[in-house]
Amino acid sequence: MSKAPSIAPAAEPEPSTPHRPGEKLPVLMIGAIGVVYGDIGTSPLYTMKESFIGPHPMAVDALHIFGVLSLIFWSLMMIVTIKYVVVAMRADNKGEGGTFALLSLISRSLDGKRWTPLLVMLGVLATCLFYGDAMITPAISVLSAVEGLEVAAPSVESLVIPISIVILIGLFLVQARGTAKVGAIFGPLVLVYMAVLAVMGISNILAHPEVIGALNPLWGVRFFADNPKTAFLAMGSVFLAVTGAETLYADMGHFGRRAVAYSWLAIAYPCLMLNYLGQGALLLGDPSAVRNPFYLMAPEWARVPLVIVATIATIIASQAVISGAFSVTHQAVQLGYLPRLRTLHTSEKAAGQIYIPAVNWGLLAMVIALVLGFKASTNLASAYGIAVTGTMLITTVMLAVLIFQVWRWNKVLAAGTIGLFLIIDGAYFASNITKIPDGGWFPLTVAAVLFTVLTTWATGRRLMRERLAETGLPLPIFIKSAANSAHRVRGTAVFLSASADTIPSALLHNLKHNQVLHDRVLILTVRVEEVPYSDAATRVEVHPDSDGFYRVILHYGFMEEVDIPRDLAGIGDIGEPFDMMRTSFFLGRQKLIPSKEVPGMALWRERLFAWMSKSSESAMEYFQLPTNRVIELGSQLQI
C-alpha cells in the first residue's frame, strides 16, 4: 500500500514489520487467516438469523433480504476495509497494533497535552469493553455452532447446552499447554472453513443469481426509506457481521500489515460475502429457512459434517480471543493498570505465547455462566455487539487525535474521514443501545467493574509513590551521611526502587536493622516504556555514584517480560561481573492502611487497592529473581 505524502506530511507512521521476518508472505497470510479471522469468520452462523428473528423481528421478503445484505456488504467495506485495513493499520507502534499500542503511540507524541488523561481513560475503557467481548465470543460462537445439531439431528436437541459446556471446558483446560502446536494447524483449518463458506454460498446463489444485486448501496437506502425504525433496529443485528474487526488491528504485529490486509481482501472478505449472499438466496426461495439459514444452506447429508467444521472454526475463534485476553492483561500489568499476575510462558521460542491462570479460570466461569444463563445463541446475540461498537467508537476518537495532531493530515481529508467513521460507528452504537434490556447490560456491567478495578490500581500506585516520595532521601545526601560511617561487607546488594533518584525504604530499613552496607550497592529501577519492544542496545542505563553506589535503570517494552538477573549479567562496566551467589536482592513490601485522614481515593477504593496489592504476585517471581537470594523488608504506609 503506497503512502501519499500529502496525507501525512508531518509524521508518517512507522512501517509495520512482522516479528517473524523469515517467513514468506503466503505463509504469514495463512497464519493470519487462522488467528485474525476466526472471530469475524464465524459471524455467518448467526448474523442473518438474528437480523430477521432476533430482538426486533421483521418480515422475510425481498426488500428486507436485499436491504440487510446491502448493509452487511457496505459495513464490512467501510468498517473493516477502509477504517481498519486502510487507515488504522497505518497507526502501528513499532509494528504492534491494538488499543494500548495506539494509546502509547499518541501519548508518546503528545506528552503533556491537557486532554491526554481523558484519552488515557478512553483507552482503558476500550480495554475493559474488550473483556466483555472476550467472555461472550466463546459462548455465542460455540453455542451457535453446536445448535446446528437442532437442524442436522433434532433428536439430540436437549444435548446442545451440555455439549457446548464440555467443549468450552476442554478449550480452557488446554490453555496451560500453550497454542504453539495447535496454532500451526489453525490457518489451514480456517482456510478449509472459508472454502466451505464460499462453496455453500455459490451453490445457493446459482439458484437465485439476482441476489447479487444486493451489493448495490441503493438497497440499503430503500430499506431505510421504507421503514426507518425497523432498519435502525436491524442495524444492531447486522453489526454482528462486523464483530471481530478489531482483531485485524490488534493482531497486526503477529503477521505484519501486508499479510493481514491481503488475507482479508483476497480470502476472508470474498468468502464471507459469498456465504451471506447464499443465505439471502436461500431465504428468497424459502423464507421459512430463516430459523437457521446457515445450516439449511447445506444438503441434509452434509449438515452433521458442517456442524463439526463450524465447531472447529468457533473453537479457533474462541482460542484467538482467549489468547488476546492474556496479551491485553499482560500489557495492562506492564503499564501499571493491574497488579502483578502469575504469568507462565508456554513456548520457548515465541515470547508472546503466555498463559495467565487467573484470567483463564475467570473467563471460563463467566462463559459457562453465560451459556447457562442465556441458553441460546439468539439470546446471547442481544448481549453481543454493544461492547464491540463501544470499542470501535473509542478507536475512532483516538484515530482522530492521531490524524489531526500527530500525522497532521490535510484538514478537509481528515475531517471527512473521521466524520464518516463517527457517523457509522455512532449509528451502530446507538442501535446496539436498544439491546441493553435484552442482555446488553452484561458487557457494560463487566466493563464498569473492570474500569473501576484498573483505575483504582493506577490511582493507588500513584498515591503510594507520592507517599513514599514524601519521605524519600536523595541518593547523594545518603551517600555523604551514611556510606562512610556504615560497616561494609563483601558482595553486591540490589535494592529495587520506583524512583532512580531517591533511596528506597528497603535500604533504609536494612541499614537501620543490620547496620551494614555491601561493597557494591545498586539502586535498581524498572521502567516499562510506551513502546511494545525496547531497543536491546539501550536496555540498561547505568549512572555511577561514589563509594560503590550505582543507579541502574532497566527499560522494557509493554509486551516484554522483565528478567532482572539476565539483564544484570550483561552489565560489564560497574566492577566485577555479577555472581548471583554473591548478590542479594532487597525488596520493600508495604502494608497499606486505608485512611480517611490522608487525602486520596474514596475509602472503599483504598480498601480495594490494599486487597489487590496484597493479592498480587510477589515481586520475586514477577522479576524472575533467584528465590534463595531475596530478602523482603516490610513497612506500613497510609494511603
Question: 406 CB contacts (<8 Å, ≥6 apart)?
Answer: 10, 11, 105, 106, 109, 110
- Given this model, what pLDDT does residue 379 score? 87
- Strand duo 354-355 + 549-556: pairing: unpaired
pLDDT tens figures, 442-493 = 999 999 999 999 999 999 988 888 887 777 788 888 888 877 778 889 989 9
pLDDT for the residue 589: 81
Over range 519-526, report the average pLDDT: 92
- Confidence tier at 7 by pLDDT (50, 70, 90): very low
Q: Is the pLDDT of residue 113 over 80?
A: no
User: What pLDDT is attached to residue 86?
Assistant: 93
The pTM (predicted TM-score) of the whole model is 0.84
pLDDT at 448 (0 to 100): 94
pLDDT of residue 158: 86
Tell me: the pLDDT tens digits for 25-59?
Answer: 888 888 788 878 888 999 999 999 999 998 889 99
Q: Give one DSSP letter per residue of 587-612, joined into a string.
A: EEEEEEE--SSS-SS-HHHHHHHHHH
Percentage of residues in the chain having pLDDT higher than 90: 47
pLDDT on residue 228: 95
Q: Which strand ranges, in their side-by-side order, compose the sheet holding 516-528? A: 540-544, 549-556, 516-528, 487-496, 583-593, 630-638
Average pLDDT of the residues of the chain? 86
Over its C-alpha atoms, the chain yields an Rg (Å, rounded) of 27
Model pLDDT, residue 277? 98
The pLDDT value recorded for residue 183 is 54
Q: Is the pLDDT of residue 197 over 90?
A: yes
Comparing 21 with 241, the larger pLDDT belongs to 241
The residue that leads in pLDDT, 599 or 532, is 532
Residue 19 has what pLDDT?
A: 47
Cβ(103)–Cβ(398) below 8 Å: yes
Q: Determine the 3-state secondary structure of 495 from DSSP.
A: strand
Q: Is 79 left (phi over 0), alpha (psi -120 to 50) or beta?
A: alpha
* pLDDT digit string, tens, across residues 268-294: 999 999 999 999 999 999 999 999 999
- Set of cell numbers at residue 345: 510462558
In this model, does residue 334 exceed pLDDT 70? yes
Model pLDDT for residues 62-100, shown as the tens digit of each residue? 999 999 999 999 999 999 999 999 999 888 877 778 887
Burial class (CB in 10 A: 0-12, 13-18, 19+), 573: exposed
pLDDT at 352: 56
Mean pLDDT, residues 178-196 taken together: 76
> What is the tens place of the pLDDT at every residue in 157-174?
889 999 999 999 998 988
The confidence score (pLDDT) of residue 184 equals: 59
* 6 pLDDT above the threshold of 50: no
> What's the rounded mean pLDDT across residues 353-374?
92
Q: Pick the range with the lowest mean pLDDT from 316-330, 377-391, 396-410.
A: 316-330
Domains, in order of start, for the chain: 25-458 (1.20.1740.10), 471-638 (no CATH)
